[in-house]
Amino acid sequence: MRRWKMLLALMLGLVVIAGCGNNGTVEETDEVEENEKATGEVIEIEWLAHPAYSLQSPGPERVEYLQNQIDAFEAEHGNVKIKPDVLSSNISEAMARLMEQAAQGRAPAIAQIDSYILPRFYDYLQPLDPLFEQAGLDIEDFFPFAQDIMRGPDGQIYGIQFTTDTRVLYYRTDVVDSPPATWDELFALSEQLKADGYEAFLFPGGRGEGTIVTSVLPFFWAQGGSLVDDQDQPAFGTGENREYMLNVLTFLHDMVQKGYSPQRLANYGSEGDLNSEVASGNVAMFIGGNWQVNQLAEILSEDDMAKWAVAPLPQREAGQQATTAGGWAWGIFTDDPVKQELAFDFLMRTFVGDEGMASWCTLGGYLPTRHSVYEHEAYEGNEFTDIFREHLAEFARMRPAATVYPEISTQLQIAVSDIVSGNKSPEEALEEAWNAVAK
């Protein structure tokens, strides 16, 4: 009976729309607040997060920040407790288990979701539009690629992407006067750099997701390619999509065959694998992620770090541009309206509100997903943040949420690795990848 009274009070309370406090938290309706105090029941908000975003993070500053946020939230709400749980560090396994929990009605109140597959969870997530309005949170403040995955096919908001990243061209300003904008310019510049004794151009070329999101998709998308069709079925091996993909594979093949990129790139499946090569001092350009700025700053001297700058990725033709965005989103699964409001309040103050997103992204070295947060006094970027922000606003795309995507990625990783190592021609590698996915 007390539960029904609580729900009734909340439903009445939601008629009164409250504003958003200066600290980015949601101002509760009076009725909800009174219920929390009157019932005396402990309300647990299950919070499932990736280890690096949880109290089990190896970063003491992250743990201190999260614990402070939890303590403040619980102190404010009295009988409300955050119940932490941690995802597997294997993201694929973690998302598969969360999907199983959601399908069985056992998902936690709040869960962290790999942003590009958020659409797979639409059927199990709660629409957040009333809570966005109550908090004064404008979805138009999010980058376009984030809005695309946060809104479901019915136009309602089903998740909140709160961190992101992007891919760019890194180049040495002491050996590259002007970064190449096209593949032709890249080939010409690489010939000169090779003659001068440099490793001209590095990219992830092995078996790993970094190879696809950094070395394949930006070049494929920029030409107009699509991995899947409108029915989420594989499409990269037919028609114009096959032509665009073959162009990408031939480009990577030619960089290696001409001696501008080493064959050992076939051993590097992530962007971070290139860091030790960069530290050798013999690399002129590479494509990588924004997070490598902080990683390289830890292994390069201040003088060597100052030699590097970033630019848009060189594309097949002038005027083409695309890059990959990643990151994480929060979803609220509970159908309890009291827990929904409390969960949203916790997310706002810790990860999504102005100060919460600014503080968390600064601590983790992430890029915010909201335009306005870049101007917040609590956000600290680096010398390249304005360029990363422009890429996210203008060029960024997400991987398709199609269930066939992991198999497409795996087969294209094999194709790129075989091309870079010299085991197959671009045509042979593409044909095998397509046959493996389309069988």
Q: What is the pLDDT of residues 211-241, one digit of tens each?
A: 999 999 999 999 999 999 999 999 999 999 9
Predicted pLDDT of residue 41: 85
pLDDT beyond 70 at 133? yes
What is the pLDDT confidence band of residue 254, given thresholds at 50, 70 and 90?
A: very high
Check residues 422 and 38 and name the one with the higher pLDDT: 422
Region 273-289: mean pLDDT is: 97
What local confidence, expressed as pLDDT, does residue 23 receive?
Answer: 43
Average of per-residue pLDDT values in the chain: 92
Q: What is the pLDDT of residues 283-336, one digit of tens each?
A: 999 999 999 999 999 999 999 999 999 999 999 999 999 999 999 999 999 999
348: left (phi over 0), alpha (psi -120 to 50) or beta: alpha
**350 SS3 class:** helix
pTM of the model: 0.89
Radius of gyration (C-alpha) of the chain in whole angstroms: 24
Integer Cα distance of 78 and 88 in angstroms: 31
Q: How confident is the model at residue 36 (pLDDT cuts 50, 70, 90)?
A: low
Q: In what order do the strands lie in the sheet with 43-49?
A: 80-86, 43-49, 110-114, 328-332, 160-161
pLDDT at residue 88 greater than cutoff 70:
yes
Which pLDDT does position 28 carry in this prediction? Answer: 57
Q: What is the DSSP string of 225-290?
A: --SB-TTS-B-TTSHHHHHHHHHHHHHHHHHHHTTSS-GGGGG--SGGGGHHHHHTT-EEEEEEET
List Cβ neighbours of 291 (8 Å cut-off, separation of 6 or more): 165, 271, 365, 366
Residue 13 has pLDDT above 80, yes or no: no
Query: Could you tell me the pLDDT band of residue 123, with boundaries at 50, 70 and 90?
Result: very high
Contacts for 52 with CB less than 8 Å, ≥ 6 apart: 58, 59, 62, 364
Which residues lie below 8 Å from residue 412, measured CB to CB, with a gap of 6+? 211, 212, 216, 236, 433
- pLDDT the model gives residue 21: 37
| Strands 396-397 vs 323-324: parallel, antiparallel or unpaired | parallel
pLDDT of residue 439: 79
Query: 265, exposed or middle or buried, with CB in 10 Å at 0-12, 13-18, 19+?
Result: buried
Residue 201 has pLDDT above 60, yes or no: yes
The amino acid occupying position 186 is L
pLDDT grade for 15, boundaries at 50, 70 and 90: very low
* Strand intervals (E) in 325-418: 328-332, 396-397
Q: Please say if the pLDDT value at position 410 is more than 70.
A: yes
Mean pLDDT of 52-73: 97
Query: Is pLDDT of 270 > 90?
Result: yes
Q: Give 357-407 pLDDT, tens digit per residue.
A: 999 999 999 999 999 999 999 999 999 999 999 999 999 999 999 999 999
CA-to-CA separations, 259 to 233, 318, 420, in angstroms, rounded: 37, 24, 11
Contact between 283 and 263 (Cβ < 8 Å): no
186-199 pLDDT, tens digit per residue, is 999 999 999 999 99
Contact (CB, 8 A) for 135 and 26: yes
Task: Reply yes or no on whether the pLDDT at 34 is more than 80.
Answer: no
Question: Per-residue confidence at 14, pLDDT binned at 50, 70, 90?
Answer: very low
Answer yes or no: are the C-beta atoms of 163 and 327 closer than 8 Å: yes
